[in-house]
Amino acid sequence: MSKAIIGRKVGMTQIFAEDGKVIPVTVVEAGPCPVVQVKTEESDGYAALKLGFLAAKEKSLTKPDLGQFKKAGVAPCKYLKEVKGLEGYKVGDVLKADVFAAGDKVDVSGVSKGHGYTGVIKRWNQHRLKETHGVGPVHREPGSMGSISDPSRVFKHKHLAGQYGVENVTVQNLEVVRVDAKRNAILIKGAVPGPKGSVVTIRTTVK
């Protein structure tokens, strides 16, 4: 059975395993996530759950969002997100961190850190040009754009400078090391996308 929950990245730390090995972990504040809506094949064309996360004041929500919470009889939440593959839940149920257990394999999705407008070396890991005569005056440019007369244009998808980061990223097949139900915390081995305080989605891995 698939499992999922919405959480907030707290940061990274390390813990010690029973054999003394150091394990780098990311701490995620996961849930509680109330079920605001249950979508079905018959009514919506696909099956999914709409989950809320982090309590919010009514005055900070728009009328359409606030109407969803009032219809469901659920306290207003700051974030709303649809998650597919979950079964057996009804409106008003609350998903907590203990839906996962130590040893579970998960996929974590989030929005990556923003790096602003960057060059090809930082964005695409390209090499510098030669630091010799005839190459300058710049040495961090992308280099040749292609032939001159044919096709007389730059092909699409060529690696050039531009906005780097702020993309939806999923890191697959991570391991849940520890679950602290009292603190709504899930410790995941390794790094997950996004800066501290960003919202992430934890799902059962597809691999």
Given a contact cutoff of 8 angstroms between Cβ atoms, the answer to whether 107 and 190 are in contact is no
What is the distance between the alpha carbons of residues 27 and 191, in angstroms, rounded to a whole number?
Answer: 10
Lowest mean pLDDT among 24-28, 153-157, 196-200: 153-157
41 shares its domain with 107 = yes
Tokens for 7? 């959480």
pLDDT of amino acid 72: 85
- Residue 26: which pLDDT band, with cuts at 50, 70 and 90? very high
26 shares its domain with 102 = yes
- Cα-only R_g, the chain: 23
Domain of 183, CATH number, reads 2.40.30.10
108 shares its domain with 124 = no
Backbone angles phi, psi at 206, to 5 degrees: -90, -5
Number of domains forming the structure of the chain: 2
Owning domain of residue 13: 4-115+168-204
Comparing 55 with 116, which gets the higher pLDDT? 116
Tokens for 65? 């969002």
